[in-house]
């Protein structure tokens, strides 16, 4: 920035551009899309900034203690992908 006088553009997480581009390329609707990740500071923060539903998996990087201390809050926190699968299956209509 000092050399070019141009502010850098961050395109990775947690900036919303990446999520918005993925939605566009997939033809997905934001209200029908969820970000699932194990990091509050990147995955969940990015999803929140993009206005998407967010699910934190506590089996990875971020812990329950991190979640309690963080200003970033997911819509749902699950112990692991297995717990999320059970919740998801209960929420879906029977086929």
- The full 3-state SS of the chain, as one line of letters, equals CCCCCCCCCCCCCCCCHHHHHHHHHHCCCHHHCEEEECCHHHHHHHHHHCCCEEEEECCCCCCHHHHHHCCCCCCEEECCHHHHHHHHHHHCCCC
Residues 32-91: name the CATH superfamily. Answer: HAD superfamily/HAD-like (3.40.50.1000)
pLDDT tens profile 6-30: 888 777 788 899 999 999 999 999 9
Q: Where are the domains of the chain?
A: 32-91
- Predicted TM-score (pTM) of the model is 0.85
Mean pLDDT, range 50-68, rounded to an integer: 97
Q: Taking residues 48-58, what's their average pLDDT?
A: 97
pLDDT at residue 95, as a whole number = 64
pLDDT reading at 70 higher than 90: yes
Q: Which two tokens stand for residue 36?
A: 């699932």
Q: Which residue has the higher pLDDT, 72 or 4?
A: 72
């Amino acid at each position: 920035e000092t050399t070019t006088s141009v502010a850098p553009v961050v395109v990775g997480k947690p900036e919303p551009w990446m999520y918005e581009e993925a939605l566009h390329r997939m033809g997905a609707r934001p209200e029908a899309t969820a970000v699932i990740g194990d990091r509050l500071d990147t995955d969940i923060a990015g999803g929140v900034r993009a206005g998407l539903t967010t699910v934190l998996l506590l089996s990875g990087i971020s812990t329950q203690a991190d979640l309690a201390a963080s200003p970033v809050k997911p819509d749902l926190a699950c112990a692991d992908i297995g717990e999320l699968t059970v919740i998801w299956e209960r929420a879906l209509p029977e086929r």
